[in-house]
Structure formats: C-alpha cells, structure tokens
Amino acid sequence: MNRGLLIVFEGIDGSGKSTQCRMLADLLNKKGIANISLAEPTRGKWGMKIRQLLAKGRNGISANEELEWFMNDRREDVKQNIEPALKAGKVVLMDRYYFSTAAYQGALGFDPEKIRVDNERFAPIPDRVLIFHNSPEKSLERIESSREEKSAFEKRDYLIEVQTIFKSFTGPNIRYVSSDSSLEKVYEQVLCEVQDLFEVKL
Ligand code: TYD
C-alpha cells in the first residue's frame, strides 16, 4: 500500500511546536515533497464548539462532554482529511492529535492509556510523534506574551499535570524534543528525529 507519512507535533501550550511544524512544512515544500498541514482542534463543527469552550471556559460543560467533543472532532478529521491525504501518499503534518487528548483530558481524571487505546481504534497510528517539552514556566511566559488572557487550558497547575502525562508516553514512534533552546537548535533536533522516514536528505 502506498501510504503517506503521518508526523505529529505534540506538547503543552507555548512549547513552540506549531512554529516547528510550519518550519518542517516549508522545508518539505522546498524539497517538492507533497504534504499537508492539519491542526486539532479543527475548524469543523466540533472544533468550533471546542474553540468556544477554550475562549469562554468550561462553565457548565462536563469533562465527559469535553472528551466527547474532542473525539468527535477527531473522527471527522480522520475521515475527511487524514485518511484521504495518507491514501494520496502525502506527508501529513499534524499540530496536535490524540496524545493531546490523552494528556489534557487525562489531566481531568480520565485514564490516559484508555484514551490512547480508544483513539487507536479509529485514528491512524502516527509514524512519528514529536513531543516537545520545556519547563511549564517557559511555556507560561510564551503564552502570556502572545495572548491577552489565558484559557482554562493554560493554567499553571493544569499544564504541569498535562506535561507529566506527556512525559509518560513510550513507544517506538515517540521522540522527545527539548524546546528550551533556540529555534534553530530545536529545528535541528526535529530534522534529526524525522530524517529516517525520508529517502532524501532533509
Ligand atoms: P492549540 O493547539 O493551542 O490551538 P490554537 O493554537 O489554535 O489555539 O489547542 C487548543 C487547546 O486545546 C490546547 O490548550 C490543548 C487543547 N486540546 C485538548 O485539550 N485536547 C485535545 O485532544 C486537543 C487536540 C487539544
């Protein structure tokens, strides 16, 4: 089967993963490697409900509903975007995927491992997952300088718990990238961690 590649960027808010994801997309474009960049939560119907929750806080929305919304959003993303792109042989770059659900909704009290297993029943397993980590203080600094107000997802204690869960993931497709250093240094690490998936030199 001529399946493309699925590369996922994960980490707590303010870890710099979105910038690195864009940098890799630019490089693939320069090299003429067909790729698509996707992000979750999406801009679809469930993603927009989630964005409301991010902007307005969790008031009245139960943890169960929150988890349901992220799962529904992903089901839609898999069917409409991820599977077709992989079938077309593209490199799919994702800014967040089900490891975020395991970590963020896991930090609300759900079992992260169960979330991961439930997702893997319908969501393609990535060829590589880059988990960005830095001190939550550094993340909060970045968040505070770039946003007017923190969402319920960006509070210090919650992020520390999320980070702890992110650090617990293991598997042959999982790599940790320390994002405390400069943009260039982090980018070097990113290239190093995905190079073996490509025939050409990145
Ligand atoms: P984020 O990547 O910060 O989106 P944007 O840059 O467009 O604002 O994601 C928004 C938030 O959603 C982030 O705090 C993490 C959270 N999130 C979950 O809690 N569970 C999930 O499954 C996903 C995909 C995201």
Pocket perturbation via mutation, ligand 1, pick of 53, 100, 139 by most ligand atoms within 8 A of CB: 100
Structural domain includes residue 64: yes
Banded pLDDT at 139 (limits 50, 70, 90):
confident
**Helix extents (H) in the chain:** 17-30, 45-56, 63-77, 83-87, 98-100, 112-120, 136-146, 156-166, 183-194
User: Number of structural domains, the chain?
Assistant: 1
- Amino acid identity, residue 101? T
The residue-averaged pLDDT of 31-54 equals: 96
Instruction: Say yes or no: CB of residue 70 within 6 Å of ligand 1.
Output: yes
Q: What is the side-by-side strand order in the sheet with 35-39?
A: 35-39, 91-95, 5-11, 128-133, 174-178
Query: What proportion of the chain, given as a percentage, has pLDDT over 70?
Result: 98
Regarding predicted confidence, which is higher, 23 or 57? 23
What is the per-residue pLDDT across 89-107, written as a single tens digit (0 to 9) for each?
Answer: 999 999 999 999 999 999 9
Domain that holds residue 50: 5-196
Structural domain includes residue 149: yes
Residue 146: per-residue pLDDT? 78
Residue 1 has pLDDT above 60, yes or no: no
Residue 148 has pLDDT above 70, yes or no: no
Residue 174: per-residue pLDDT? 98
Write the CATH number for 119.
Answer: 3.40.50.300
Instruction: Say yes or no: CB of residue 96 within 6 Å of ligand 1.
Output: yes
Instruction: Say yes or no: CB of residue 34 within 6 Å of ligand 1.
Output: no
Residue 150 has pLDDT above 80, yes or no: no
Banded pLDDT at 163 (limits 50, 70, 90):
very high
Nearest CA to ligand 1 atom 17: 100
Structural domain includes residue 201: no
41 C-alpha to center of ligand 1: Å? Answer: 6
pTM of the complete model beyond 0.75:
yes
Structural domain includes residue 74: yes
Query: What proportion of the chain, given as a percentage, has pLDDT over 90?
Result: 80
Structural domain includes residue 153: yes
Structural domain includes residue 183: yes
1 C-alpha to center of ligand 1: Å? Answer: 32
Atom of ligand 1 nearest to the CA of 153: 14
Residue 2 has pLDDT above 80, yes or no: no
Residue 32: per-residue pLDDT? 97
Structural domain includes residue 174: yes
